[in-house]
Chain A
């Protein structure tokens, strides 16, 4: 009974934020003169119309669950990793290289190798800002954002330069070996294992965060660095480990996405790293919650296209939902802080007659 209560409490705020988003979004649609019923039905049908559409949404949730988990673990340690995007891209770069190079390997070796390489490159791409943060106290917010753009331009260079498949009109890399294509789990769909591997990762991450010593360290550093230090935890090492894990998760996501698309393109991530932040925040940085929020955002992503087709609403409309949800959750999960100390200062001022 206690457990149910706790779960209900945990779910209440995200549910409220979602409800607010759909209410405000619906109102906006109505005000703009669109048929709200048609629009919402299009959103729903995009995922739940039939098995095929459902598998499309599952696939779309795959990159987001990985970037979401990447952000979640970083945020738990109070490391503001804004670079899941770049780490995702480097994961895709690593996977492309492996998939194009080791074409003699059988698929059951090549695919895991791609994912591992992707994770390694993602971690590597996170290592630099992490190092700058712990060694020189440089804010990771800016460095990770900058490195996103470096990664993006590096892909641009690769697909226009050395890796360019000149038989294609648009800049893209050569395809990876056919045995490296992610296998289809269901006939006549393109369903692959990405999201399911993401679920396994989510459960592992939950275990790591709440049942292991490293997880305890991560959470301790995230809650209060100074207190964690007093308790004998090396905040620097913990943050470094967190960023490496975070980058590896994002990189895995990129590698899997590449295995699903089969070749590298500049637009391989339409902002999956940023969506990861949204997904994680909505799940209050809980890995298990991300299983659901990533699916929700995957469904919104599928819904975007059909919203435009069925109701004539811009596909970007779903981003309005997402934005409102995050602001809602950011407001709902506020901690009452410092207010008392500020009051104390004010009263002191009054007493002394300053100002």
Chain B
């Protein structure tokens, strides 16, 4: 096989995996604290829109990132306040967030770029450039796969290890896990359950925001209505594949990333393969792995989805 084609495939696997990884890392923290957030899809979408808007209006991808994350945080607050403070059903409010965000992002997009609030279309959105890491990027295979990306890809990889340390090696990680498993027990030893849950959910908002930003101003240079296309839900699958472990999330995200990349790979090769069948595989793999892992109790936080 052509080495160049293989290099491209590996590189785009990592690129495709990045938004899934970032969202999954965020969600693995909030799920560990006992909050299941189906609204991730919508939050990512709002972030993608915010980042595009910010980058386009202010001409800087850093400011785009800032506004993308701010949009994500505002949206996730609409999820967090009803579910954490008022103990509303997390799945229902999450669903509402998805519907609301689909509407709100499209409404704002049309209003700002085509409607009465018309914005000048002249300037292109600033996007995160690819930064090749000297020497390392020239390594065969691995070089292009890991060291020739934009900053957000690197951020995702680094964040994986940081979160692994925080979750498994610090008392904060222990507290978060305890709150997700036995909130009553955690509170009885003085952990503020609501504070930990708010903190975890808002932190996940930041990472989901970066994931959304990646979609609109790093992987592409535009916003499309509904552009998350189910990636938020895939991120939820990634967590299960990775058993709520950040390193596992990296593996899970790469599985889905590779499946998407494989689709493009076949297209460039001009091979007639029913790509829809390929795309089914990771989803089925998730369901099957859930089944296999279930013998070891899956590893899901015991109070996942239960308000406190």
Complex-state Cα separation, A317 to B276, whole angstroms? 31
Q: Are B107 and A327 in contact (CB under 8 A)?
A: no
**Closest CB of chain B to A231's CB: distance in Å?**
23
Q: Which A residues are CB-close (under 8 A) to B227?
A: none
A274 within 8 A of B: yes
What 4 new A-B contacts, CB under 8 Å, besides A146-B287, A326-B93? Answer: A141-B36, A319-B106, A320-B104, A326-B96
CB distance from A346 to the nearest CB of B (A): 8
26 of the cross-chain contacts (CB-CB < 8 Å) are A28-B107, A32-B111, A82-B95, A128-B287, A132-B291, A132-B294, A138-B291, A139-B305, A143-B287, A145-B38, A153-B277, A154-B280, A157-B276, A161-B274, A274-B98, A281-B92, A313-B110, A314-B109, A314-B111, A319-B103, A323-B99, A326-B95, A330-B88, A330-B89, A334-B86, A349-B188
Q: Is the CB of B100 within 8 A of A320?
A: yes
B86:A331 contact, CB within 8 angstroms: yes
The minimal Cβ–Cβ distance linking B168 to chain A, given in whole angstroms, is: 23
| Chain A residues with CB below 8 A from B295, complex form | 136
Closest residue of B by beta carbon distance from A32: B111
When the two chains form their complex, are residues B236 and A142 in contact, meaning their CB atoms are under 8 A apart? yes
Q: Tell me whether B290 and A142 are in contact (CB under 8 A).
A: yes
Closest chain-B Cβ to A319's Cβ sits at a distance in Å of 3
Contact flags A319-354 to B (C-beta < 8 A → 1, else 0):
111111011001100100110011001101100001
Residue in chain A with minimal CB distance to B111: A32
Interface residues of A (CB under 8 A from B): 28, 32-34, 80, 82, 128-129, 132, 136-139, 141-143, 145-147, 149-150, 153-154, 156-157, 160-161, 274-275, 277-278, 281, 312-324, 326-327, 330-331, 334, 337-338, 341-342, 345-346, 348-349, 354-355
Residue from A33, A141, A323 in contact with B116 in the complex, judged by beta carbons closer than 8 Å: A33
Residue among A28, A147, A278, A314 making CB contact with B95, cutoff 8 Å: A278
The main secondary structure of chain A at its interface with chain B is helix
Q: Which 10 A-B pairs have the closest CB atoms?
A: A323-B100, A355-B190, A319-B103, A316-B106, A326-B96, A156-B276, A314-B110, A157-B276, A320-B103, A136-B294
Cβ–Cβ < 8 Å partners of A154 in chain B: 276, 280
Q: A32-B117, A136-B291 are in contact. Are A278 and B188 (CB under 8 A)?
A: no
Query: Max chain A CB contacts within 10 Å: which of B105, B187, B233, B276?
Result: B276
Total of A-B residue pairs, C-beta within 8 Å: 189
Residues of B within 8 A of A142 (CB): 236-237, 240, 286, 290
- The verdict on B284 contacting chain A, using a C-beta distance below 8 Å, is yes
Contact of A153 among B91, B100, B276, B308 (CB under 8 A): B276
**A residues near B125, Cβ cutoff 8 Å:** none
State which of A143, A149, A156, A345 has its C-beta within 8 Å of the C-beta of B230. Answer: A149
User: How far in angstroms is the closest Cβ of chain B from A140?
Assistant: 10
A324 and B283 contacting across the interface, CB-CB below 8 Å: no
CB distance from B68 to the nearest CB of A (A): 19
* Contact assessment for B100 and A327 in the assembled complex, using a CB-CB cutoff below 8 Å: yes
Q: B280 contacts A334, CB within 8 Å?
A: no
Considering only CB atoms, which chain B residue lies closest to A330 in the complex? B88
Interface string of B181-225 (1 = CB under 8 A from A): 000100111100000000000000000000000000000000001
